[in-house]
Amino acid sequence: AGPKLAAEGAGIEVLAALAAAGWLALHAWRGRHLAAKGKVLRTVNEQVQVDRPEVVVYFSGALESAYQLNGWLPVLDRLRRQVVVVLREREMLTRLDPTSRPVVCLPLGKDLTAFRLPDAHVALFVANAANNTHLLRLPEFRSVYLGHGDSDKPTSSNPFTKVYDEVWVAGPAGRERYARSGSGVADTDVVEVGRPSLGRLNATGGTPAPPMPTVLYAPTWEGFHGDPGAATSLTDMGPRIVKTLLEREPPVRLLYRPHPLTGTLDPRARAAHAEILAMIDEANTARDAREEFRGQDTRELAAHAARLPELARRLDELRRPARGDEAQAARDAGVPQEPPSAAWESALAEWNEAYWAAQGWWRHRVTGGSRPGLYDCFDHADLLVADVSGVVTDYLATGRPYAVANPAGLPAETFRDRYPAARAAHLLGPDLTGLDDLIDGTDPLAEERQHLRTYLLGPATPNPLTPFERALDDLLARAKTGTTDR
């Protein structure tokens, strides 16, 4: 499921490598075929070098953080430059979405150092991890911090980022964020590249609107930043937000999408999440019994629902790395296989279609994990309620109204000055003031959203990938010549 390779301990397993003739699957362990670790590593290295990758994308983290890299994979697949993805945790291979790029897992620092990529001069980092230093210390690379979302949280201007040669941000807001933060990142090292991942987003809405507005509630998690203004709304406001939306007349449909790390630090967040799930389940039971919500043929809904398990199995199969005897058989057969990215996108689109059609338009939804994705939820939402997070910044690309929770009850002017993404938002106070203003449909902030979009995400371009590729081309050229000035 993608060009995935793994090297681990005394026995090295290479799950799949991209070879010049097509897809080459290899499998080796002690006592069979490529038994010696050094030989396996050299073989993998040679296979990766065939396409002469110029860019390394480095990622390390807990399994729950796989979404941080997965969000970048569609962008990497579209780049003109040759790219290799380097992981440090072998289990991460099972969480990675398929990609047309070779993926190598090198858990040991000495193997990372020994892995030679003579044409690679730029390393892109998706997250700040302690072992990023293993690659940062290699002098042949110019390092870039990409991050995994552009938000007003303090973590988006972490002082650790000054260790990178450059920090790439979406728009002018990101540049100013670093200037204000005192992080030590020089303004000359900040590069505005837009948000290339937003090219997948349907700015006009992906589906016909149901007979009632759909509100997406996407709270952030209870992370490490310690800023009460940017705290999650889930613990203190979440159940009340959801209860208000579920009981609202005229009715709305709720999409609830918690952060993947929700509840990992604070038991109050876990409790609030569980309370919300119970409320949504009860509300759906009540709606299913209402006469006005029985207009859709239940047989049609059941037919779509029946397709979901098989479609999910197909997606899991595409994601699963080839391994063991099946990988050896593929190698021995010598039959090139089509890269799975296109098959993945097709299967994912089919799953999404069935998922949204499998329940009545009136039913509230709880979405989580990798399916449906955040942008898929955007496409089905008329309105957003969220916290200070990258969710808000990306949602601006839709042009639709949104509210930002202000759990600390800061004065509106202070809140909007501190968190620029809220400047075109309805502010949702601790007493839920502002929620009715979001839903009433008058939309007085439409023009302000357009201005804010450019400030946060950069100028709109026909191809959102263009500014990113321009910055990458420029850095590669400077890295190859040894120059530092742009």
Q: And the tokens for 477?
A: 């050229």
Indicate the DSSP class of residue 212: S
**Selecting from 3.40.50.150, 2.40.30.10, 3.90.1150.10, 3.40.50.11720, what CATH number does the domain 4-200 have?**
3.40.50.11720
Position 32 scores a pLDDT of 43
What confidence tens digit (pLDDT) does each residue in 370-428 have?
Answer: 889 999 999 999 999 999 999 999 999 999 999 999 999 999 999 999 999 999 999 99
Indicate the DSSP class of residue 91: G
Q: How confident is the model at residue 321 (pLDDT cuts 50, 70, 90)?
A: low
Q: Residue 439's closest CA among 180, 276, 173, 253?
A: 253
Q: How confident is the model at residue 318 (pLDDT cuts 50, 70, 90)?
A: confident
Indicate the DSSP class of residue 341: H
Chain centroid, CA 195 distance in Å: 12
List, as one string, the DSSP characters of 236-265.
TTHHHHHHHHHH-SS--EEEE---TTTTSS
Given a contact cutoff of 8 angstroms between Cβ atoms, the answer to whether 2 and 98 are in contact is yes
Max CA separation in the chain (angstroms):
71
What confidence tens digit (pLDDT) does each residue in 279-292 have?
Answer: 999 999 999 888 87
Given a contact cutoff of 8 angstroms between Cβ atoms, the answer to whether 339 and 318 are in contact is no
Query: Phi then psi for 321, rounded to 5 degrees?
Result: -65, 140
Least trusted range by pLDDT, from 155-169, 252-266, 323-337: 323-337
Buried b (16+ CB within 10 A) or exposed e, 289-310: eeeebeeeeeeebeeeeebeee
Position 372 scores a pLDDT of 93
pLDDT reading at 341 higher than 90: no
Least trusted range by pLDDT, from 71-85, 146-160, 278-292, 303-317: 146-160
Alpha helices in 66-140 (DSSP H): 66-70, 73-78, 109-114, 133-136
Partners of 214 in the β-ladder: 253
Return the residue matching tokens 């050229």: 477
- CATH hierarchy code of domain 214-457: 3.40.50
The number of C-alpha atoms within 13 Å of 103 and in the hemisphere containing its C-beta is 32
Position 349 scores a pLDDT of 92
Position 289 scores a pLDDT of 87
Q: Residue 210's closest CA among 292, 154, 291, 114?
A: 292
Angstrom distance (rounded) from CA 58 to CA 145: 10
Angstrom distance (rounded) from CA 327 to CA 27: 6
Least trusted range by pLDDT, from 10-24, 406-420, 438-452: 10-24
pLDDT (average), residues 119-134:
95
Given a contact cutoff of 8 angstroms between Cβ atoms, the answer to whether 427 and 191 are in contact is no
Q: How confident is the model at residue 208 (pLDDT cuts 50, 70, 90)?
A: low
Position 291 scores a pLDDT of 81
One-letter amino acid of 415: F
pLDDT (average), residues 6-28:
37
List, as one string, the DSSP characters of 133-152.
HHHHT-TT-EEEE--S---S
Helix, strand, coil distribution of the chain in percent, nearest 5: 45, 15, 40
Position 295 scores a pLDDT of 63
Position 25 scores a pLDDT of 31
Angstrom distance (rounded) from CA 417 to CA 436: 23
Q: How confident is the model at residue 343 (pLDDT cuts 50, 70, 90)?
A: confident
Domain boundaries of the chain, sorted by first residue:
4-200, 214-457
Given a contact cutoff of 8 angstroms between Cβ atoms, the answer to whether 14 and 44 are in contact is yes
State which of 14-18, 356-360, 448-452 shows the largest mean pLDDT: 448-452
How many C-beta neighbours within 10 Å does residue 369 have? 9
Tell me, yes or no, if the two domains 4-200 and 214-457 fold the same way. yes
Mean confidence (pLDDT) of the chain: 85
Position 296 scores a pLDDT of 65
One-letter amino acid of 355: Y
Position 330 scores a pLDDT of 43
Position 38 scores a pLDDT of 78
Q: And the tokens for 105?
A: 């897992």
299 contact partners, CB below 8 Å, separation of at least 6: none
445 contact partners, CB below 8 Å, separation of at least 6: 401, 424, 425, 426
State which of 8-12, 18-22, 330-334, 427-431 shows the largest mean pLDDT: 427-431
Query: In terms of pLDDT, which residue wins out, 179 or 152?
Result: 179
Given a contact cutoff of 8 angstroms between Cβ atoms, the answer to whether 244 and 435 are in contact is yes
Q: Is the peptide bond before 228 cis (omega within 30 degrees of 0)?
A: no
Given a contact cutoff of 8 angstroms between Cβ atoms, the answer to whether 106 and 88 are in contact is yes
Given a contact cutoff of 8 angstroms between Cβ atoms, the answer to whether 275 and 466 are in contact is no
Position 395 scores a pLDDT of 96
Angstrom distance (rounded) from CA 475 to CA 55: 11
Least trusted range by pLDDT, from 34-38, 203-207, 316-320, 379-383: 203-207
Q: How confident is the model at residue 210 (pLDDT cuts 50, 70, 90)?
A: low
Q: How confident is the model at residue 334 (pLDDT cuts 50, 70, 90)?
A: very low
Q: How confident is the model at residue 119 (pLDDT cuts 50, 70, 90)?
A: very high
